[in-house]
Amino acid sequence: MLKKPPQLEHVERTSQNSAERRTPSPDVASEGALKKSNNKSNKFRKDLPPTEWPIHVEISKSEGPEIEALNDKLNQLIERITESADLSAGEEILLVSNTLSKLYLQIVPRDISYTYTMNLEQHLWKQCFHTSIEALRAASNSVDDASRVFRSSLIKLIHQGLDFYARLFNKYEMVFEFLIEDYLYWQTGLPADDFLGCVLVDSGAHEAADPVIKVALLSLQRMAVSVGDLQRYNAIVTGIKNYSNAWL
């Protein structure tokens, strides 16, 4: 069951019932093309491992080398942070993470079956955010003056991650032509206090008939966990004791 990520609520409130969200504009023509591509059944890849699918070959040749180079750069920056408390590495890691996440923003919705089968949602989370966040969090726990600088970079990276997932969730809605809120049990994010209200929620499960949308929703569920982790990190770093934004 997918629960609305809290940091997306302001986006959904301002655009709720808007015809613009239900009728794609000319600017999202490429997203429509992606949906058609995702809808096509590929009989040639039924018995092939995903690493031999055409989409895998395409990504390996196009974005693959840049992703590998950016991951190597992130590893170098993390090493500079952990071994020598290099303050410049803390700032630079924000730029590299942002560049890498932009690549994933283009790759992840391209073929949803491939994304889900290859667990790209987890690769995205680990490579773009989690590993770097942990390095910055460890560096910010020291007692020297550098810890304040690393803490500032850490907060920026967490917010950068939340903004990224908001954009990616919105792109899913455009590419696969559905609204996340249509598949939520509780629009406010939490059930009512009464038991009957918890049981009788619109008299049935919110399930998609389109198989592509079904996989897209499963993919969103994976990423919603990462959003919850970012909210928990934010609560820990800022000292806020209210973890309600991290509920999934």
pLDDT (tens digit, 9 = 90+) per residue, 190-206? 555 555 555 555 545 56
CA–CA gap between residue 138 and residue 114 (Å, rounded): 34
Q: Rg for the chain (alpha carbons), in Å?
A: 20
Range with the lowest mean pLDDT among 23-37, 92-106, 131-145? Answer: 23-37
Per-residue pLDDT at 36 exceeds 90 = no
Q: pLDDT (tens digit, 9 = 90+) per residue, 132-189?
A: 999 999 999 987 889 999 999 999 999 999 999 999 999 999 999 999 988 876 655 5
d(CA 75, CA 65): 16
Q: Which of 173, 166, 217 is nearest to 28 (CA)?
A: 173
- State whether residue 218 is helix, strand or coil: helix
Q: Reply yes or no on whether the pLDDT at 7 is more than 60.
A: no
pLDDT at residue 243, as a whole number: 62
Domain parsing of the chain, residue ranges: 52-168
User: Other CB atoms closer than 10 Å to residue 213's CB: what's the count?
Assistant: 21
Determine contact, residues 176/216, Cβ cutoff 8 Å: yes
What is the model's pLDDT at position 17? 43
Task: Please say whether the beta carbons of 225 and 1 come within 8 A.
Answer: no
Q: What is the mean pLDDT of residues 28-34?
A: 57
Provide the whole-model pTM: 0.79
74-113: b (≥16 Cβ within 10 Å) or e: beebbebbeeebbbebbebbbebbeebbebbbebbbbbbb
Q: What is the pLDDT of residue 33?
A: 58
Three-state secondary structure along the chain?
CCCCCHHHHHHHHHHCCCHHHHCCCHHHHHHHHHHHHHHCCCHHHCCCCHHHCHHHHHHHHCCHHHHHHHHHHHHHHHHHHHHHCCHHHHHHHHHHHHHHHHHHHHHCCCCHHHHHHCCHHHHHHHHHHHHHHHHHHHHCCCCCCHHHHHHHHHHHHHHHHHHHHHHHHHHHHHHHCCCHHHHCCCCCCCCCCCHHHHHCCCCCCCCCCCHHHHHHHHHHHHHHHHHHHHHHHHHHHHCCCCCHHHCC
